[in-house]
Amino acid sequence: KGIDWDLVTEYDRKIEDDLQKQLSKIYPRHKFIGEESTAEKRCLPKLTDDPTWIIDPIDGTTNFVHRFPHTCISLALLINKKIEIGMVYNPLMRQFFSAKKQKGAFLNGHPIKTSDITDLSQTLVAMEPWIAKDSNYLVTVYSRMHALIQGTHGIRSLGTAALTLCYVAMGAIEAYHIESIDAWDVAAGKLIIEEAGGIVLDTAGGELDLMTPRVIAACNHQIADQLIELFKIADSKAIDKNLK
């Protein structure tokens, strides 16, 4: 059988609608930014200081339709544009990641923390090269991937940003890089990593813009700094290739 994408979209909408309805009963004044509702409006809502829930009803949609078990529901609460609560649930593997600002990060109720590795050559790093569509940007992505293959213990690509961020938080991988994604892919996982002792930055090393995220997530500052420097070198090589 082929993939019924209309049915997948129906699942997405139902999960998002159900979450919004249940949360609205408890918090009637709260706002919502969701993947499906944003797609229907065809414009990204402006993030305000009002309490706002950011929802990804199915992160890892392609994984979901192929029954590859790395897929999840991601939910974050922002107040004054700051992430206060983050939750990521993988129903297939029964993994529930959660974090509350200044209260720590947890997997199924047990505390988690990031890896203590500080040498990039010893790290396992995840990235998503399939995101790149533009031919020039594709050169950049594969230049970075080549640099990671040479400069780390190994690389992985799991097809779900929210869940991969949680794997950084639990110490299963040391870092994660992804661009061309949206706030609902990142919001919950960002807080979970930070509460587990890690760091989430913009690819250039500055503060992450949640509404247009370009992500370097790492177990600590040392690994983040080494990744940023590695990508600077890789990007300069990519520019040279694009000019030829």
What positions carry a catalytic annotation? 35, 56, 58-59, 61, 185
The C-alpha atoms of residue 195 and residue 208 are separated, in whole angstroms, by 16
Residue 165 burial (10 A CB sphere; 0-12, 13-18, 19+) = buried
Distance (Å, rounded) from C-alpha 175 to C-alpha 200?
A: 9
Q: Please, which residues have CB within 8 angstroms of residue 29's CB and are 6 or more apart in sequence?
A: 50, 51
Could you tell me if 117 and 221 are in contact, meaning their C-beta atoms sit under 8 angstroms apart? Answer: no
Give bridge partners of residue 85 from the DSSP assignment: 77, 100
185 is an annotated ligand-binding site residue? yes
**How many Å apart are CA 199 and CA 192, to the nearest integer?**
10
Question: Residue 138 carries which side chain, given as an amino acid letter?
Answer: L
C-alpha–C-alpha distance, residues 54 and 83, integer Å: 10
Cα torsion angle, 117, 121, 124, 127, sign: positive
Q: Is 225 annotated as a binding residue?
A: no
What tokens were used for 209? 């813009």
> CA-to-CA distance for 92 and 10, rounded, in angstroms?
19
**Contact (Cβ atoms closer than 8 angstroms) between residue 157 and residue 149:** no
For the record, the structure tokens of 171 come out as 């110490």
Binding site as annotated, residues: 35, 56, 58-59, 185
Binding site as annotated, residues for Mg(2+): 35, 56, 58-59, 185
